[in-house]
Amino acid sequence: MGCTLKNLGRLVDFAAYQLCVSHRVYSGMGWNAQKGLFGRCEGNWKRVLRFLQAVEESSGMVKTSASNMQVTTGRYHTLLIRDSSVYSCGSSLCGSLGHGAETTQCVAFTRIRFPLLANVIQVSASHNHAAFVLQSGEVFTCGDNSSFCCGHNDTNRPIFRPRLVEVLKGVPCKQVAAGHNFTVFLTKQGELYTCGTNTHGQLGHGDTLDRPTPKIIEPFKGGGSVVQIAAGPSYVLAVTDNGAVYSFGSGSNFCLGHGEQNDEFRPRAIQTFRRKDIHVVHVSAGDEHAVALDSSGFVYSWGKGYCGALGHGDEIDKTLPALVNCLKSHLAVQVCARKRKTFVLVDGGSVYGFGWMSFGSLGFPDRGVSDKVMRPRVLDSLRAHHVSQISTGLYHTVVVTNQGRLFGFGDNERAQLGHDTLRECLQPSEIFVQETADDTDPASEANEDQA
């Protein structure tokens, strides 16, 4: 007997169902959360699976038809992973591009050379430093190490090329998050290590003592393994496998989500999510506000509301996480916050932006009479593309499509968009990555960082 189209469809649905129930994100959800997601996806297991996969990829590599990729934006630079190789462009402050002491700027994406064959799976960029996770779980860092945020205590000078964090040998990691002068490391066991500046308790050790090398944070009260992290300028958000969100560090602008502006020296659960039985799957830490995505694809924001960065139609600060009502009809799969602006990627590949339109970094060419977008607005200029990932820096933004194409917009004065043709891109322009390699032998510069 031949297989009918109807039966084939049932087999595909059943296969999607099996993949869903075994997926890390789905299996960590309670019955109510699972039921809520299934309803939001209109009873379509393939759509549920697509949501779970998008959430899983939102902090790391996304699978495109061309290659596996991740893009991350720093202050004035951009880092890109493409099939385990890492490229960087823009301004190299204190070695943040990873190309050596002689490189102060790259006008095109240039491949970074590691001291060994490195299969890089995740990268994070901050103002002046970067961190890289390898398939093996090893972590490399480069950039400004004056605060020891790179995890090397034998020098406080810049690390101009990626260097192995020796203290974490034997402690396999799966994600890193770079803040301003500090770094957070998430291990494959769901534990957190931190190092660098600790003025506001952002290292999570119960004090304000700086740490020159990574130190483990005590297990969170309430249990649960950490599955995703995000670092703001001086605070941290961490999501656990049971859907809770913990925050610690600077309480400025209500970014910690506790209804007050006190610093927290140890991880503290955000009670709003617990009380409302909201299972969070992803968070993003902006400069003055924060955003979260729950297991049903709803978006929440809190912190400073300047320029409409919270998406509630006003500029009122939110001291606690609040649902972004304008996006309730959309199934969100990724959230991305930075300085006074927010992006939300929804199922189907459309992107919504809101907040400050500085330098065109929101992707709307028609500035009109205001430089503020108070409510979520779709980026019409990207409608022809299915966006799979988005990252926004200080004044520039870069997206990856499901075909492996890159588009950037916003400030380009330091070539952070991977070209030097325009100083400012008011709407998305395609970025072409050539196989430009840093041809300097890392071995010849082995002592460069120690000089």
pLDDT in tens, 177-233: 999 999 999 999 999 999 999 999 999 999 999 999 999 999 887 778 999 999 999
Whole-prediction pTM = 0.94
* Per-residue pLDDT at 220: 86
Residues 160 and 89: their CA atoms lie apart, in Å, by 14
* Per-residue pLDDT at 371: 87
Question: Has residue 447 got a pLDDT over 60?
Answer: no
Non-local CB neighbours of 145 within 8 Å, separated by 6+ positions: 94, 129, 152, 155, 156, 157, 158, 159
Segment (H or E) for 15: helix 5-21
- Are 150 and 142 contacting, i.e. CB atoms less than 8 angstroms apart? yes
Residue 37 DSSP SS3: helix
| Cα atoms in the Cβ-side hemisphere of radius 13 Å centred on 110 | 23
- Are 122 and 188 contacting, i.e. CB atoms less than 8 angstroms apart? no
* Per-residue pLDDT at 382: 94
Q: Give the whole-number percent of the chain exceeding pLDDT 70.
A: 94
Question: Has residue 370 got a pLDDT over 70?
Answer: yes
Token pair in block for residue 303: 């912190």
pLDDT digits (tens, 9 = 90+) for 95-117: 999 999 888 899 999 999 998 88
Strand ranges for 278-420 from DSSP E = 280-285, 289-294, 299-303, 318-323, 332-337, 341-346, 351-356, 372-378, 387-392, 396-401, 406-411
Check residue 128 and give left, alpha or beta (phi > 0: left; psi -120 to 50: alpha). Answer: alpha
Chain mean position to CA 428: 20
Residues 307 and 357: their CA atoms lie apart, in Å, by 9
> Which residue did the predictor score with more confidence, 60 or 288?
288
Non-local CB neighbours of 23 within 8 Å, separated by 6+ positions: 49, 52, 53, 56
Picking from 402, 409, 346, 418, the residue whose alpha carbon sits closest to that of residue 378 is 346
Sheet holding 159-164, edge to edge: 120-125, 129-134, 139-143, 159-164
Mean pLDDT of 279-287: 97
Question: Has residue 248 got a pLDDT over 80?
Answer: yes
* Per-residue pLDDT at 298: 98
* Per-residue pLDDT at 434: 78
Question: Has residue 245 got a pLDDT over 60?
Answer: yes
- Are 247 and 256 contacting, i.e. CB atoms less than 8 angstroms apart? yes
Question: Has residue 369 got a pLDDT over 70?
Answer: no
Residues 360 and 365: their CA atoms lie apart, in Å, by 7
* Per-residue pLDDT at 12: 84
CATH 2.130.10.30 in the chain, residue ranges: 64-333
- Are 343 and 350 contacting, i.e. CB atoms less than 8 angstroms apart? no
Q: 8-22, 159-173, 176-190, 231-245 — which is least confidently predicted?
A: 8-22
Picking from 389, 398, 405, the residue whose alpha carbon sits closest to that of residue 428 is 398
Residues 400 and 406: their CA atoms lie apart, in Å, by 5
DSSP letter (8 states) at residue 93:
G
What's the topology of domain 64-333?
A: Methylamine Dehydrogenase; Chain H (2.130.10)
